[in-house]
Structure formats: C-alpha cells, structure tokens
Chain A
Amino acid sequence: MKSRRVITAILAAVLCGTAMTACGGGSKNIKVGIINNDPNESGYRTANVNDLKNTFTAEKGYDAQFSYSMKNDEQIQYAQKYIQDEVDYLLLSAAETAGWDTVLQDAKKAGVKVILFDRKVDADSSLYEASIISDMEKEGQTAVDWLKGQSLSEYNIIHLQGVMGSAAQQGRSGALVNTAKELGWNIIAEQTAEWSAEKAQQIVQSVIDSGKKFNVIYAENDDMAKGAVAALDKANISHGVGKDVIIMGFDCNKWALKELKAGNWNYDGQCNPFQSSYIVDIINKLQKGESLSEKVIIMDEKGFDATTITDADVEQYGIGN
C-alpha cells in the first residue's frame, strides 16, 4: 500500500518534470513536426523536401523538425515522438496508406493538428485538418486528353509503368488504359520498368527488336522516358515534335522540360511537389481560428506541350536544377 503511494508520487513528479521542460522550451514560434519520405527517392521528392525546408524556417516564425523514412513503422515512431514533443502541427507524407489510425487519434487527444500532404492516408477524415494531394488520375487524364488532341491516324502505344501498385502508377496507368479501351488505341507493349531508365531502355529495345510499329511512348515518369529515348536513338527512330514517335513523361524535372523545349519530347505532365504554400495558408487560417472550406485540397497541376512551353515555364515549373 505504502509502496504504491511512493510509486505514484514518483510518477507524478516525473510527469510534472517532463511537462515543465516541455513548457520551459516554449517559444513564440509555431512548432512543426514534418515527416516525409526519403529525399533521395526521386527528383520529385528532393524538390518537395527543399521546398518545405525553405518554407518552415526560424526566420519565418517556425520551429520545425524534419524526419525522413520510406518505412511506415519508422514514420509512426517519428510521429509519436513529435506528439510527445507537443508540436503544434504534424505534417505527414505517409509511406503507406494504412496503419495510421492509432497514432492520429493520439495526436488528436494531445491537441496536435495534423495536415497530410502529397500522400493520402486510410483514416477517418476527422483525424486530420486537411490533406493536400496531387490527383494522379487527373494528371493521367490531362495527359491522355492531350494525346487524344493530337488526333493521330492510329495510336500504337508503348506503355512504361512505374512500380506496380504505387499511387502514381495506378492513376497514370488507369487513365491511359481506360481511354485506350474506349477509343480503340493499340497498346502494343505494357511493362513495368519500375521507374528505372535502364529497364525502360531494355523494354523499348525489346519492342524495337521485335519489329512492332509504334508511334507513342507513354512513360509514367521522366527517367523512363529518357531510357526509352536512348533506345530509340540507338535504332535511329526519330522522336519529338513532328517526328515519328511521340514521347510523353511525367514529373517535370527541369532537364526533362529542357528536352521538351528542344523538341525532343512532346509532353510532360506536372506532379506538383510544391505543397508548402498550401500548407502555410492552412496554418495561417487555423492560427486565426478560421475554419477551412474543404478538407481535401487538390493542387493545380499542368501539362506541358513541347510546342507551347516557354523558357519561363522551364525555370518556374522545372524541378531540380
């Protein structure tokens, strides 16, 4: 009996202690905990990480912590740490969609406001304030609509897919596959190159070796488009504006937009990595106590055509350097 009381006292003291330190470290800055995927994952991610880093700085009134992982369980651990640190906002780009319920409930109990960016999460929408995402279906549809607009006499398409099952692959593949079915386009090869230029090169090489005719390469990212072009160059098949094969890519890397500008490629679809301005808007509103008009915010994303792209576009929308 006595011992139990002692333990309770100690526990209470410890709890007070931690609360004190947490309070003691308080400043006027807004405390933000940011959990993102690994910056090396792709050029897209690098741009995304840099954008966030440049926005949430001490000068701009934020006290930001960053952590990166491509593994869900590690990300959850970071989230728990941030909740314990009593951040004001938890910004999350989840590695996987599932498994977030508990930790988001914890956040809610602790009064931490959660904003999702870039990736969706399978959790009740009451658990987060807002979700800022790219609509991959829309990206794909924009690209396919552009392709439809080219009104080719026939469509023979090589379809290079990303890693199977990823959101980008599903969205971008879905649009093409559906439209092709609808309009009777031929998809003469459909293979996953797993976002890799080398594999894309091998796949396109293999189609060329087979002697099948094609006039469109629909690559679900820029790297794979680049690999495809390397294979075409080897076989002396012309590509780009007004040439034999139409090249389509996604992500708007700066180097890819330059290819576009030079007329070697035809189309590049944007996947906007610059979510920080949207996030800042939301935080400002929430700080003022305003309510948000909608929970899910879909970012503006463009598609660039080689014939209309300008140098300014390349500079403004190109990611990387």
Chain B
Amino acid sequence: MSRLNNKKGLLAGLLRHQMLIPIAALLLLALFNLIADPSFFKISLGTNSNGDPVLTGYLITIIDCGSELAILAIGMTLVTAASGGQDISVGAAIAISGSVVLRVLCGSDSHAQTLQAPIIVAFLVSCAVAMIFGAFNGTLVAFFRIQPMVATLILFTAGRYIAASFHNNELPIVNDPSFGYYGNYFPGIPVPTPCFIAVICFAVITLVLKRTNLGLYIQSVGINEKTARLNGLHPEWIKFMTYVILGLCVAVAGFIKVSRLSTINYSVIAKDIEMDAILAVALGGNALSGGKFNMGASILGAYVIQFLSTTLYKFNVQSDALPAYKAVVVILLVVMSAPAVREKLSALFAKLRKPSHAAQT
C-alpha cells in the first residue's frame, strides 16, 4: 500500500514538476518531425569549404543556433526571479556589445586587414561594456524602483543607435578568419563552437548556483523582499547583480553573434531576441512575476523555441504565415505551462487514475 502511494506521489510530483512542459514540448516536436520526416534526425559528418570536418543535420543546427538564446535565458531567468520583471533591452544590448567587439578588433579602420587587438581583449572589453549597461538597467530597477520593462525600454530604444555610433554608422568587417572560429567551427573540431560556449555557460551557472547562495538569495528577494531584508539580505544589491549577470550573458551571446558572420548589422542583429528569451523563461514554467525559478527548465525552453523555428523553416511554411504558426504553438505551450492549467491537468489525471485504482483493490 505504501509503495503504491509512493508511486502515485512520484507520478503526481512529475506532473507538477516544472521540467515537464519543456520536456513534453520537446518530445512532441521531435515526435512530429519523426512522423513527418525521420531524416530530420540524421546527423552526418562532412567537411566545410576550408576542408575541416563538420557535423551537419537539423539537430546540430538547433543546438548551434539555440546557443545564444539559451545563454540569454540564464540571465533572463535570474532577472525575472529577483525583480519580477523582464529586461527587454537584451537585443539592443547585444548590438552594443557586438559592436564593441568589432570596434576593438578593427581599431579605427573598419576594414582593417589584420586584428588590431587580441580577440580575448575584445571579448573582455565587450563584457565590461555590457555589464556597465546591465548595471545601468539594474540601477534603475533596484535603486530607483522603476518597473523593469520601463527601465529597460530606455536601452531598448537607444541601444542600436549607441551600437552604430561606435563605428560612425560604418559597417565593420573582420577579415581575419580566426575570429570566425567562435561562431562557427574551430579547425579540426566538427562540433560548432557556440555549443561549447553554451555548455561552458551552463556549467558556470550550475556551479555558481551550487557553490554560492545566489539561488536562495534571489528567490528570497523575489518572493518576499521585506523578509529578505529582515534576514540580512540587501534586496537592491541582489536585483542589481542579476542585471549585471544578464549583461555578462549578453556579452557572450553578442560575441557569438558577431563571430558567426564577422560583421554586424545594427538594426537587425539579435532582433526580437528579448521576446524569445522571455518566452524561454515562461516556457520553463517560471513565474514572470518573480520568485522561484528553475534554471534547467528555462534553458530547455530556449531550445524548444529554436526547435520550433527550425521545424518551421524545414517545412518551408509560407513567409506571411510564419508568425501565425509560431504564435499558435507558443500560445499552446504557454497555456500548458501555466500553473492553473497544470493543477487542473494533474487533478484530471488523478481522477482518471482513481477507477483503475479501485479495480486493483
């Protein structure tokens, strides 16, 4: 009897678990593709135009192209949890940090044939700049208590102009092929570099959440700021820090983005990525009003979104209709992951189980 109860508890627990929705969505998309065209899952080893080995296939494309979004989802999850709001300026901030990378690499001549600075220096400078812009958002939200969406609207509006101003509106192009390795492949390694960068980011955040009290502090502040303060925490600082961390995520994502093509287009780079990042957090079942969060679920949510985009591209959905398809799927997923709906579902499930249960006893 107790074992039976246990099992029931486990099942109910699974149903209530946050990871359920993104996993189910992923499985559903995979199943759909499997039925429609099993070759979706084919991965083959080929060579690129430089003669280096590369893995190709839809799955590789998904984990490759989903990297930036997944990295952003990390920061967005923390910001959401701590401040109960979202940063809508990440797309514009990516334009800024990407622009900084190119500015450092190209120097004053936007078509320099050689790198004017080591890549690592460019990356670190862009990290610093992105964190400063994160700090700007964080200050507005934490210390001036402006609604996150309003506070980040400033950078959302101005960011791409700032990015363009670093280069006097010129288009910088990096000609050194080694810069492209970070957004594509290192010679000899068949797995796209962004995957590695994403995995490093996941490892770092996992380690941070495990080895520090970041998670506990952020959740406490997000759930009950007053209590957090009376327990010795400094809620403003913690909120501020989440925006700085998001800034770091932005820098990494921006670095990958500009490395992919060795150039930047200020007006379209990472366009609308903020909405996808917020969606990833929501798909992970995290409350957008802050509080408890599940990092793994958010990251998975990011890949679900990429999976969906790639699937839609694969089926060559008509351009005009693309947003509509995406919207329908997104509505379904978000509704499914809403706590109220999940409660109902698990109640329904319990009811369905009851008759069979009775039959057993």
Q: Write the residues of chain A forming the contact surface with B, with a CB cutoff of 8 angstroms.
A: 38-43, 46, 161, 164, 189-192, 194-198, 201-203, 205-206, 208-211, 223, 226-227, 230, 232-238, 253, 255, 320-321
Contact = CB atoms under 8 A, between A and B. Distances in A.
Residue among B39, B50, B164, B265 with the highest chain A CB neighbour number at 10 A: B265
Report the 8 A-B pairs with minimum CB-CB distance, sorted nearest first: A192-B319, A206-B313, A196-B268, A233-B49, A40-B164, A46-B169, A209-B58, A236-B49
B171 A164 contact: no
B9 interface: no
Contacts of B111: 255, 321
B319 A203 contact: no
A40 B271 CA distance: 14
A197 B265 contact: yes
Residue among A40, A161, A196 with the highest chain B CB neighbour number at 10 A: A40
Given A197-B261, A234-B48, A43 B171 contact: yes
Given A198-B269, A234-B56, A236-B46, A191 B316 contact: yes
B185 interface: yes
B261 A227 contact: yes
Given A206-B313, A321-B111, A236 B48 contact: yes
A321 B61 contact: no
Contacts, number: 110
B29 interface: no
A237 B184 CA distance: 16
B268 A194 contact: yes
B322 interface: yes
A196 to B, nearest CB: 4
Contacts of A191: 313, 316, 319, 322
B54 A206 contact: no
Contact of A194 (B58, B271, B313): B271
B16 interface: no
B161 A40 contact: yes
Interface in B245-267: 257, 260-261, 263, 265-267
B319 A208 contact: no
B161 to A, nearest CB: 6
Contacts of A320: 170-171
Given A209-B61, A230-B260, A196 B319 contact: no
Contacts of A227: 261
Nearest to B109: A321
Interface of B: 39, 46-51, 54, 56-58, 61, 65, 110-111, 160-161, 164, 169-171, 173, 184-185, 257, 260-261, 263, 265-271, 309-310, 313-314, 316, 318-320, 322
B314 A209 contact: yes
Contacts of A209: 56-58, 61, 314
Contacts of B268: 194-198, 223
A34 B224 CA distance: 53
A235 B261 contact: no
Contact of A196 (B56, B160, B271): B271
Contacts of B58: 206, 209
Contact of B267 (A40, A189, A234): A40
A321 B110 contact: yes
Contacts of B164: 39-40
Given A321-B111, A321-B170, A235 B269 contact: no
A237 B49 CA distance: 7
A161 B309 contact: no
A3 B111 CA distance: 70
Contacts of B314: 206, 209-210
Contacts of B51: 236
Nearest to A40: B164
A314 to B, nearest CB: 13
Nearest to A239: B49
A42 B310 CA distance: 26
A98 to B, nearest CB: 20
A164 B65 contact: no
B261 A234 contact: no
B319 A234 contact: no
B110 A208 contact: no
A242 to B, nearest CB: 15
Contacts of A39: 164, 169
A203 B39 CA distance: 17
Nearest to B169: A46
B71 to A, nearest CB: 15
Given A196-B265, A237-B49, 19 more contacts: A38-B267, A40-B169, A190-B318, A195-B265, A197-B261, A198-B260, A202-B65, A203-B313, A206-B61, A206-B314, A208-B56, A209-B56, A226-B261, A227-B261, A230-B260, A234-B49, A235-B54, A255-B171, A255-B263
5 contacts: A39-B169, A42-B267, A189-B316, A198-B260, A234-B48
A40 B266 contact: yes
